[in-house]
């Protein structure tokens, strides 16, 4: 334990979560553990009256996510979920460019090399949430997946229809050559293309305007800033201080998890109801 404290410059360490709660009495906590441990840890923190930031997905089971949301409301504590893309400057610029309007079409793609366990739930959920950020609430899902082992799929793709009438195509792939994240938004005679985390291009019928993260920040912007990690942490702390609701609070994040579960079911992948793979 002392070695870990020294290596990571941790001010204090504890033998258990219960020990931390009892001795430190924190106002807030960050849960950055493996996803299958989120529900148990978050539940203990909320019951102790601690505002909690939880990484996505908030749980691997939809019922657990719903109970966590209900508990946060009962305890009158903030439960914020780490959908960091909403806090990334490039996506915020795109949202500002849209204003109150919903796009007619959204194309969202997230590629990440290498097979992983439940990659659609663990990784493509970022795209599911950012699509809701731009499009609103979904009313229809058609989806497909490629896999030999359904717990280690290579591709998931879905077509979504939203309350606004907008249509979205969303794709997550693991057999690619490199990491790539891109969102395209079309409507109102404009095109908005986000190449995360670096730039946004807005095009109408007369001109094109490109905003790039790195030149604006004179080259010193880090991944923490560009991907929204710093922004989400600052937002969490600010909401606690002001007693305000976070942008990605549990009730809103739960809708992204419910949509994620819908896509999993439609694509033939294990849902957020089924037991974990042996």
Looking at residue 13, what is its pLDDT?
A: 81
Structural domain span for residue 49: 2-84+236-248
Asked if pLDDT for residue 197 goes beyond 60, the answer is yes
pLDDT in tens, 30-59: 999 999 999 999 999 999 999 999 999 999
18 and 141 share one domain: no
92 and 213 share one domain: yes
When pLDDT is averaged across residues 109-138 and rounded to a whole number, the result is 96
Asked if pLDDT for residue 10 goes beyond 80, the answer is no
Answer yes or no: are the C-beta atoms of 213 and 89 closer than 8 Å. yes
144 and 200 share one domain: yes
Who contacts 221 (Cβ-Cβ below 8 Å, separation ≥6)? 213, 214
67 and 165 share one domain: no
pLDDT in tens, 205-257: 899 999 887 655 555 678 899 999 999 999 999 999 999 999 999 999 999 99
* Residues 135-151: b if buried by 16+ CB within 10 A, e if exposed: beebeebebebebeeeb
What is the token pair recorded at 12? 């204090």
pLDDT in tens, 64-85: 999 999 999 999 999 999 999 9
The CATH number of residue 52's host domain is: 3.40.50.720
Residue 50 in any domain: the answer is yes
The CATH number of residue 208's host domain is: 3.30.360.10
Residue 106 in any domain: the answer is yes
Residue 225 in any domain: the answer is no
Domain count, the chain: 2
147 and 22 share one domain: no
137 and 261 share one domain: yes
98 and 25 share one domain: no
When pLDDT is averaged across residues 142-165 and rounded to a whole number, the result is 97
Residue 273 in any domain: the answer is no
190 and 137 share one domain: yes
214 and 105 share one domain: yes
Residue 229 in any domain: the answer is no
Kindly list the strands in the beta sheet with 79-82, ordered across the sheet, starting from the edge strand earlier in the chain. 28-31, 51-55, 79-82
Mean pLDDT estimate for the chain: 93
């Amino acid at each position: 334990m002392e070695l870990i404290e020294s290596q990571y410059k941790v001010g204090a360490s504890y033998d258990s979560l219960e020990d931390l709660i009892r001795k430190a009495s924190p106002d807030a906590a960050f849960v950055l553990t493996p996803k299958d441990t989120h529900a148990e840890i978050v539940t203990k923190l909320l019951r102790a009256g601690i505002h909690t930031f939880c990484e996505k997905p908030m749980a691997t089971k939809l019922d657990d996510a719903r109970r966590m949301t209900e508990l946060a409301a009962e305890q009158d504590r903030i439960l914020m979920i780490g959908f960091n893309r909403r806090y990334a400057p490039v996506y915020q610029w795109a949202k500002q460019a849209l204003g109150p309007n919903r796009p007619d079409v959204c194309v969202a793609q997230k590629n990440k090399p290498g097979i992983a366990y439940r990659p659609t739930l663990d990784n493509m959920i970022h795209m599911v949430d950012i699509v809701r950020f731009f499009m609103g609430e979904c009313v229809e899902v058609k989806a497909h997946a490629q896999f030999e082992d359904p717990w280690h799929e290579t591709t998931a793709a879905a077509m979504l229809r939203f309350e606004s009438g907008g249509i979205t195509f969303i794709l997550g792939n693991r057999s690619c050559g490199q990491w790539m994240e891109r969102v395209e938004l079309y409507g109102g005679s404009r095109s908005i293309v986000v190449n995360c985390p670096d730039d946004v291009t807005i095009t109408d019928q007369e001109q094109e305007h490109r905003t790039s993260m790195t030149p604006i920040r004179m080259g010193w912007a880090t991944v923490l800033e560009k991907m929204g990690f710093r922004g989400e942490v600052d937002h969490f702390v600010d909401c606690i201080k002001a007693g305000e609701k976070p942008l990605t609070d549990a009730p809103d994040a739960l809708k992204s998890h419910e949509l994620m579960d819908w896509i999993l079911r439609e694509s033939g992948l294990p849902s957020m109801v089924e037991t974990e793979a042996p």
